[in-house]
Amino acid sequence: MTAIVEARGLVKRYPGTLAVSGVDLEVPEGEIFGLVGPNGAGKTTMLRMLATLLLPTSGDALIAGESVTRNPQAVRRVLGYMPDSFGVYDDMKVWEYLDFFGRCYGLGPARRKRMIDDLLELVDLAAKRDAYVQSLSRGMQQRLCLAHALVHDPQVLLLDEPASGLDPRARVELRELLRELRTLGKTILISSHILPELEELCTSVAIVDRGRVLAAGTIAEIGQKLRVGEVLRVRVLGDAEALDAARAWFEGQPDVASATLDSGLIEIGFRGDEAGAAQLLAAAIASRIRVASYSPAATDLQELFLQVTDRDEATMGAPVV
């Protein structure tokens, strides 16, 4: 898969602050890519530069092969953007809102009509077609805003904190919608500081703090790159003695950093990859350890995030206030 979004040394400097400092990013086509980071990490600034709303101080980014600095109009054609704090127009009906943006993209009347019908159906607002935009609930407005970003059938969607301020139900709906869009072949860049939300949704993430990308890739990849290691949970049948023997056996194996006994489960800190884990299991069974279950404990994005930012703080010194 080729990278459809490609940032090269993006820098944004404001008087007195460096909002984004030299970001390189590659997002393969068809991914749901999460930008994770605390508030003020520079996520919004990055997205705004990709959305051609902000000129980078230096560096450049290509979206579908077009430069955001040299050819912003071409980028705008392939891009749908939903800002963090989106606005709605007063005195405008739902269908007029989409019609307006359709006109902005130069769509003809027949195409606009069909697009409005389809999009309202997609975001589940067909019943609200003639309602005034300001009368919609926040979740509905958010969905309408997402629909507006789709009027020109863009290849890439940039969504800045799309789930902020939504109730749990609206969040689930939004997640479904984004999955739906992925099946339509869209590449989605999504920023959030709510980690569990991204974890369920994203195919890969970039961890961002203080204007830099600290790590990027799938959650497993990042874990490996950082040598955080995987945690394997093994349930072994037998009495306490057998359990302790098993623990000691696991501890003696290569690539095992640690093995601890925790309420009947052996937790193994494992440095190897999946093949290594399979080999370890085979060896354990060959050694007549009665393994009842053997599974990697999923690496938590939240945990990963804390580790990455901790490590960053240790190497970078105290945060600059």
Partner 1 sequence: MSTLASRLPFRGRVPLRGRSVPLPSGMSAIIVKELRGRMRGRRAFVVVTIHVLLLALFAWMLQRINEEQIRNLSAFGGQTTYAGASVGRGIFLGLLMLQTLMVSVLAPAATAGAISSEREHQTLDLLAVTPISSFAIVLGKLFSALAWVFVLILASIPVTALVFVYGGVAPDDVVRGYLVLFATVIGLGSIGIFFSALTRRTGASTGLTFVITLVLTIGTFFLWVYFSTTGEVSATGARRQPSEAVLYLNPFVAQADVLCGTEDGAFGGTCGLISSILNTPQTDIFPPDGVPVEPVPAPGVGIGGGIRIDPSDTTGVPFVGKGGVAVGGLDDANADEAVSADSFRDRFWPKSVLSFLALSIVLTLASVQYVTPTRRLRPSLPGLVRRLARKRSAS
Q: Which residues bind partner 1 (CB under 8 A)?
A: 51-55, 66, 69, 71-74, 76-77, 79, 81, 83, 85-92, 96, 100-101, 103-107, 111, 114-115, 118-119, 121-122, 124, 145, 148, 152-153, 176-177, 180, 183-184
Find, among 89, 81, 251, 52, the residue nearest to 150 by Cα: 81
State the nearest-atom distance from the C-beta of 138 to partner 1, in Å: 14
> Is residue 47 within a helix (H) or strand (E), and if so which, with residue range?
helix 43-50
Find, among 226, 227, 182, the residue nearest to 200 by Cα: 182
State the nearest-atom distance from the C-beta of 293 to partner 1, in Å: 33
Residue found by looking up tokens 């623990």 in the block: 247
Find, among 103, 105, 109, 145, the residue nearest to 125 by Cα: 145
State the nearest-atom distance from the C-beta of 288 to partner 1, in Å: 48
State the nearest-atom distance from the C-beta of 142 to partner 1, in Å: 13
- The residue among 132 and 233 lying less far from partner 1, judged by its C-beta, is 132
State the nearest-atom distance from the C-beta of 303 to partner 1, in Å: 32
Find, among 117, 112, 51, the residue nearest to 84 by Cα: 51
Give CA torsion, residues 161, 310, 14, 46, to 10 deg. Answer: -40
- The residue among 52 and 192 lying less far from partner 1, judged by its C-beta, is 52
Cβ atoms of 234 and 256 closer than 8 Å? no
- The residue among 35 and 144 lying less far from partner 1, judged by its C-beta, is 144
State the nearest-atom distance from the C-beta of 254 to partner 1, in Å: 46
- The residue among 63 and 289 lying less far from partner 1, judged by its C-beta, is 63
- The residue among 122 and 220 lying less far from partner 1, judged by its C-beta, is 122
- The residue among 22 and 105 lying less far from partner 1, judged by its C-beta, is 105
DSSP E strand boundaries for the chain: 3-14, 17-28, 32-36, 58-63, 66-67, 79-82, 156-160, 187-192, 204-209, 212-217, 230-236, 256-262, 265-270, 291-297
Q: 318: number of CA atoms within 13 Å, CB side?
A: 1
Residues facing 261 on adjacent strands:
266
